[in-house]
Structures are given as structure tokens and as C-alpha cells.
Amino acid sequence: MTAAIQLLAVPLILVVTIWTIRKTRTMTVLAASFFWIQSALVASVLYPVLCGQESRLVFSADFSIDRLAALFAMLTQIVVASSMTHAHLYFLCDGAHGGTESGVQLRMFYTCATLFLVSMTFVFFCENLGLLWISVEASTLCAAPLVYYRRTKHAIEAAWKYLMICSVGIAFALFGTMFIFASSQYGAVVDGSLLLNELHVHASELQYPLLRLGFLFCLLGYGTKAGIFPLHSWMPDTYSETPAPACAMLSGSLLNCALFAVWRISELVVASGHILLVHCTATYAGVLTVLMASVLLIRQHGIKRLFAYSSIENVGLMVTAIGLGSGPLFFLLSLNHSIAKVALFLLTGNIIQSSGTKSLKDIRGLLVVNPYWAAILAAGAFAVTGAPPFGAFAAEWQLLALVTRLQLWPLLTVLLIALTLSFLSVTMHLGNVICGTPRPQAVVLPAVASSVIPAALVLLTLLLGTTALPNLFL
């Protein structure tokens, strides 16, 4: 109960503050502070398990958290806090701080962002598969108003597509959850159970045909929300129409939540003794997603759509790690992708505001217009594509090393080709953005202030890479 109060107190106070502070500028500054306070409180709750003092924190029969989940929970806090800190300047330059109507719209955005953070955080605390499904579905509903923020016809189309496709996917995940429950009713657990600890204890007694259906439906359902191929069609349209801070949260934290649900269920299947089911489905689905995303990256015309397909490629790498049964590698890939992609989406928001367009062919000469942005964009592009010495390189190197140790030579070949193609595509597109003759700017933004959060995040992934790099070759 104490932990629940700690986790919910700040978001509740923040929602009240959002609607009571009259000046929107003051409200956005206070909101950013509250998000960082929430991060500190979550860290204080999770400190024993993060530092290895405890292997698991148990709050009730339905809520507990282990070290991997705690790391993901903290990553979610940092992603949201960074995005909402940058949001103050973003909306200030967007003109959203003036007028009664825009004020209400902005307050709705911050309210939904707060609820979005709460729902994502509880994904990592859920020990009950039913509550896990509810938390993931709640994050879907809370994210929809963020997508619809602009209130344009393209925004409503993107929000509708996001809701429809992800809701259908979540419905499949619900079917999968029901099948897993049914698999426990036949001799494993009296009256059945959705509690993961009980299911793990009786994993070998679960009825395999139903468990197999449950895993496949959950992979399909949660995979839709994560954007695995060919269930990714909502992502490019959604990212293209969503404000930059919301884009950063969708890519940097929401995808992790959906994939973490897949990881939890894959652990159960492995405990039941059917590791080949996870290996043969998740691994090949991940590699296929990496390959197709890298091919689709070649012909892109919008800068946000470019990064959306880059996110899909990274989702494929994470699903591959899940299929190979490596939780630490799954987190390492997620960590570096989240940090680099949040930096890129926040910076992209600045670029779009300044140039007045999302089209790659119309954004030119960034090196002349804003050298700070050009440097961060170039570094972020190298970081997200897995170039050394950034953290993603260390993570992808370890993934390729694991595939090599398992002697999965066809998968290794496909991954190498796909990663090379992805690197060339992203650097080619962004090289054209950085170089060339600049065009007239729609808005002149403060160069240094708008670069602080993206630069700090890129520096962090560089630090992660330089720290891990020497250990790769020992």
C-alpha cells in the first residue's frame, strides 16, 4: 500500500496542478519538475532491487518486480521526464501557450501524458497476466489523445488507425491470456490462475496445446503494439502526425512495454520446457522485422516516417533477443534505442518547427542553419544505427555474437545485410538533410536551449558505448 501511494501520489498531484495553474508556461515548467520527482520516487521504491540487495520486491499477490522489470521501469521514467522537459520549449515555439482554447488542449496533453506514464509503469509491476493486459491496454487509450493533439484530419486519421490496429492486436493478446489461463486449469492449478509465480511453479504441468496458442496469440497481439512486421502499418502514420514529445514517448517507452509483456510470457513457455516454440517464432519474427524495416528505409520521404521505420528495425532486434532467451541483451538493446531515438525525435520536432515541413527533400543545409542541431542529428543517426562507439553498437555486437555462438548462420547473414542496409539508408537520408543549400526558415528557434535534452541523451548513449566497448574484445 505504501509503495502504491508513492507511485500514484505525484501523478495525482500533477493532474490537479495542470488544471489549477492558470498560466500554461508556469504549468509546463512545474509539470517537468513533477516528472523528475516521480522518477526519483520510483527509484527510491526500486532501490533495493536495482542495487541487488533484493532479487524481487513483492507488494502483493498481483504486483511484484524483479531487477529486469525495475530497469525497464526506470528507463520509462527517464524517457518520459526527458520528453516532457523538452516539451516546454517545444510547445512554447509551437504557439500553444497562448489563448484559452490552446491552453485547454495543452492541459489535456499533459494530463494524458501523466496517465500514460502511470499505465506504462504498472506494466512492469504486474504479476497477474490479466492486470498486465489491462495496463498495456490502458497505455493504448492514454496515448490516443496524444496522437490526436493537432486536431487535423491527418491527426484524426492517424489516431483512428492507431486505435483500431492496436486494439485489434490487444484483443488477440486477450485471447492469448485466456488460453494461458485455460492451460492452467487442466491439472496444473486448481480453478486456474493468471499469477505468473504460480504458473512458473506448475509450468511443466500446463497443457501445451493451449499454452502454445496463448503464446502465439500474445506474440501476435503485443507484437502489433510493438510494430513487428507485418503488423507495423500504424506506426509510420502515427509518428508522422504526433507532436515530437509524444513521439519520443511512444518510441522510447511504449514499445518497450509491449515487448516486455512478450518477454514475460516467453519466460513462462521456456519454464514449461518448450524453448523451441519461443526460439522458432520470436527469433524468426524478429529477424524478418529487421530485414523488412531496413528495406523500407531506402525509399522514405518524411523525416518522422524515416525514424518510425528505424524504430521498427530496432523492435526486430529486441524480439530476436527475446527469442534467443537473453533478458539482459533485450534490455541493453531497448536502453540504447530508447535514449538515441528520444533524442532524435525531440530534435526532429525542432527541425520541423524551424523548416515548416516534414519532407526530407525540403529540409536542407542544417549544418548552416544550426550547427548544434546538425552535430546532434549526425551523432544520433550513428547512435541509432549501431555505429561505434555508441551504445547500440555494443548491444548489436553482443546480439550478433550470441547468434554466432548458436551457429545460426542464415540468421546471422540476414542480420548483417539488414543492419548494413539500415545504416546506409539512414545516413544517406540524413546526410542530405545536414548538407546542401539551406532554404528559408519558417521559425527561428533558440539553438542552444532547444539542443540541451537531445545533446544530453546522445552524450549518454556515447558514454554507454565507450564504457562497454573495451569489454567486447576481451
Mean pLDDT across the stretch 9-33?
Answer: 86
Q: Specify the pLDDT at position 443.
A: 61
Mean pLDDT across the stretch 33-43?
Answer: 91
Q: What is the number of structural domains in the chain?
A: 1
pLDDT tens column, 269-307 = 998 888 999 888 999 999 999 999 999 988 888 888 999
215 in Cβ contact with 282 (< 8 Å)? no
- Predicted TM-score of the model (pTM): 0.92
122 in Cβ contact with 135 (< 8 Å)? yes
Model confidence at 19, pLDDT cuts 50, 70, 90, reads confident
Task: Please give the distance of CA 37 from its chain centroid, rounded to a whole number.
Answer: 21
Q: What percent of the chain has pLDDT over 90?
A: 39
Q: Specify the pLDDT at position 309.
A: 92
Alpha carbons within 13 A on the beta-carbon side of 306: 26
Within the chain, what is the greatest distance between any pair of CA atoms?
A: 71
Query: Residue 47 and residue 67: Cα distance in Å, rounded?
Result: 10
Query: Is residue 101 pLDDT above 50, yes or no?
Result: no
Task: Please give the distance of CA 314 from its chain centroid, rounded to a whole number.
Answer: 10
391 in Cβ contact with 383 (< 8 Å)? yes
Query: Residue 408 and residue 371: Cα distance in Å, rounded?
Result: 43
Q: Which residue has the cell 566497448?
A: 469
Domain residues for 103? 2-472
Q: Specify the pLDDT at position 473.
A: 46
Q: 57 forms bridges with which residues in the sheet?
A: 65
Mean pLDDT across the stretch 417-433?
Answer: 90
Crossing angle of the two packed helices 208-226 and 153-185, in degrees rounded to 10? 160
Model confidence at 3, pLDDT cuts 50, 70, 90, reads low
Mean pLDDT across the stretch 368-384?
Answer: 88
Query: Is residue 112 pLDDT above 50, yes or no?
Result: yes
CB atoms within 10 A of CB 404: 12
256 in Cβ contact with 334 (< 8 Å)? yes
268 in Cβ contact with 203 (< 8 Å)? yes
393 in Cβ contact with 387 (< 8 Å)? yes
Which three cell numbers mark 341?
531515438
Query: Is residue 470 pLDDT above 70, yes or no?
Result: no
Q: Specify the pLDDT at position 99.
A: 43
73 in Cβ contact with 47 (< 8 Å)? no
Q: Pick the residue with more confidence: 120 or 354?
A: 120
Query: Is residue 263 pLDDT above 90, yes or no?
Result: yes
